[in-house]
Amino acid sequence: MKAVKTLVAVAVTALASTAALADINVGVILSLTGPGSGLGIPMQNQFKLFPQTIGGEKVNLIILDDASDPGKGAANARRLVTDDKVDVIIGSTLTPVAAAIAPVAAEAKTVQLAASPVGVPPGADQWLFRLPQGNDVMGYAVVEHMKKQGIKTIGFLGYTDAYGELWLKAMTPLAEKAGMKIVATERFARADTSVTPQALKLTAANPDAILVVATGSGAAMPHKAIIERGYKGKIYQTHAAATPDLVRIGGKDVEGSFVVSGPAVIAEQLPDNHPSKKLAMDFVTNYEKLVGAGMRNQFAGHAYDAAIALNKAVPIALKTGKPGTQEFRTGLRDALETMGRTVFAHGVMNWTKDDHWGFTNETGVMLKVVDGKFKVE
């Protein structure tokens, strides 16, 4: 009898293992602690609304904290591809961390849906797709707005890391083409608690406008420092600052400033014929029902869009293999490259084999902080 029970137990275990092979394992790496937590926690909240099944297959979410550290992010990625055998990695919210994850995902031939605008060497993004808008696309919207404001000279105050570098690299040719010049460039680290020396140099240069390149709550500190030094020109912020934290922490000092954003965070203000209006409204309605009114967030929107991408790509990839196999992972990459025009809450995406950024120049929406709220310009 004992032997029979053992055989039954083995059979049940074998059946369970077989069924598990059909589950889609989604690894998620977010900055839930450290300086990037203001970006990672909203994404974690949105993942509570993530679909439980995609393409008829059960979805298992494995969420890990990278502590805003690139080394921890890379270690998490190695665990996900080695131990958890994930079919796709989503993350991270910080560009330096997403950049550290990229080679691990590429080596494992596993799709990475980055939640930050991460740049890698040419040809190194075969498995890397970006959910946020590229800096070239958002920089285009900033420069077009600056042209209308009569801006001729620009000051740059940005992170010392990849996010700051990518924005400077994007803005320089765009500004030059528009007849503008970056006359002062200052940098600061994410962990810095003061940028007084940099703010003094920028205000001394007295450009027509200053672009602050920072993320979440970290974008308020340099903005306030510029105002406190008596700067009277126009101040712009990037899409990583399009969060409630900028207004909450910046207070009156950020009033009148301009922030480039994807359409998701200002859903109600989009015209009815905007392609993202319906999905943006769905994202905002359900997210704020979960976390509270006025708490919509750019990065939570990326988690929402990740579900849209996978809902479209997974059924195609299932034709090539079962979840848990390299055939399925390769099929998922190929499906994302060929799924064509796809409306996201954050704009219209069209990834191709040669373009893993996807968004077009019409994507960026310029916002202005008015009475503590974002208003479409």
- Matching CATH topology for 2-133+294-349 and 135-261? yes
H helices within the chain, ranges in order?
A: 2-20, 37-47, 70-82, 95-107, 135-148, 162-177, 196-205, 220-228, 244-250, 277-291, 298-317, 326-338
Q: Name the pairing type of β-strands 347-349 and 342-344.
A: antiparallel
So what's the pLDDT on residue 244? 85
d(CA 375, CA 372): 9
d(CA 137, CA 231): 28
Q: Where are the domains of the chain?
A: 2-133+294-349, 135-261
Say if CB 284 and CB 294 are below 8 A apart: no
Nearest to 61 by CA among 91, 33, 36: 91
Q: What is the CATH number of domain 135-261?
A: 3.40.50.2300
DSSP one-letter code for 161: S
Predicted model pTM: 0.80
Q: Digits of tens for pLDDT over the chain (377 positions)?
A: 444 443 344 444 444 444 445 799 999 999 999 989 989 999 999 999 999 999 999 999 999 999 999 999 999 999 999 999 999 999 999 999 999 999 999 999 999 999 998 988 888 999 999 999 988 999 999 999 999 999 999 999 999 998 999 899 999 999 999 999 999 999 999 989 999 999 999 999 999 999 999 988 899 999 999 999 999 999 999 998 988 889 999 999 999 999 999 899 899 999 898 889 999 999 999 999 999 998 888 899 999 999 999 999 999 999 999 999 999 999 999 999 999 999 999 999 999 999 999 998 878 899 999 999 999 98
Instruction: Kindly tell me the number of DSSP H helices and DSSP E strands found in the chain.
Output: 12, 15
So what's the pLDDT on residue 18? 42
d(CA 203, CA 226): 7
Nearest to 74 by CA among 43, 100, 39, 113: 100
- Does CATH number 3.40.50.2300 belong to domain 2-133+294-349? yes
Say if CB 59 and CB 88 are below 8 A apart: no
